[in-house]
Structure 1
Amino acid sequence: MMLDVVGRQIQIFDTGRMTEWMTPDELSALTGLSKGRLANLRAEKRRFPFYRFQGSRTPLYKRDEIDAIIEASRIDVRP
């Protein structure tokens, strides 16, 4: 496994597949939730799964998992 940091984008190359990661700032911008609220959700281990790599205190979120959670939260409306 190889970690590559390009600008603000963090990618992990594992078995030839690239995974895109998001920081709390990026998730906050995407969801509209404050960084404080995201910190509370992490402490409660609710809503968004997160990862901490060994030697780092920064939580990271897999973009694919976040997209799936957002898609699953869809509410259908009548036309």
Structure 2
Amino acid sequence: MKAIETTATIDKNGQLTLDRSLGVIKPQRVRLIILISEDDEADPDETPTEIAIEGIHQGLREALAGQIIPLSEM
């Protein structure tokens, strides 16, 4: 069994919409564990996945372009 973690939205009809494709090629049944925040507000300290991924991509582009800061200067 393989585990995949992602985020999704539950709409007003109770339907679940994934924020990104899972990359699964063949149709199949799956088991889900859904974690729902008990408070009405999102965690202000949690960066949305899309923003976090873009930040990682940006950092990689900068590193590959030689735009780095030595650790001793940080």
Give the structure, 1 or 2, with the largest relative contact order (CA under 8 Å, sep 6 or more): 1
**Structure whose CA Rg is larger:** 2
Q: Does TM, normalized by the shorter one, top 0.5?
A: no
Larger proportion of strand: 1
Larger proportion of helix: 1
Q: Specify the TM-score bucket, using the shorter chain as the normaliser.
A: under 0.3
